[in-house]
Amino acid sequence: INLIENFKTPYLAMNIGDFWKRWHISLTTWFRDYLYIPLGGNKVKMFRWIINILIVFVISGLWHGPSWTFVIWGLLHGLLYLIERGINKALKINEESENIFFNFFRIVKTFLLVSAVWIFFRAESMDKVKDIWEALCRNISLKDNLLIDPKILVLLAAFIVFDFILFNKRIDSRLAEKG
């Protein structure tokens, strides 16, 4: 039995769509095959496609529980996906850029967006979401110096290097199998 790999370094995704191609692949595939495609997928007019995307993401939120926090979590992912697609199309941004700085920026942007939306997923209520956002934003201004414990940066760097090494080993083994 060959089980599919269910997570493929999702926190190295360059956009929300890429994140969902890498995150919980079996569930994402199920939503695509049994909800998105039967709704018409992308073989419909633009307005209907937008509605299809939002339906799938909102239902994926409800899949996790009957709470407004999950619904909003799904809705936000759907909106972020649509906004990114719209911006990329309007600005004619090439998704296959080889520019390491541009790609690094895209990874950081996606990580920050996904992390911000996770707050809705993990919070027990909308009041808790509000409390968390207020705590995150309290006393922050452009003139403040945000100090980060160096141990956190070292740990983060270690995780990134470890993840990159594992990802590259998977690529190497796949290439060796095909060669």
CA-CA distance, 177 to 79, in Å (whole number)? 39
The catalytic residue among 8, 32, 48, 64 is 64
CA-CA distance, 16 to 76, in Å (whole number)? 11
Active-site residue flag, 64: yes
The pair of structure tokens assigned to 147 is 């100090």
Cα radius of gyration rounded to whole Å, the chain? 19
With beta carbons less than 8 A apart as the criterion, state whether 13 and 38 touch.
Answer: no
Residues with a catalytic annotation lie at: 64
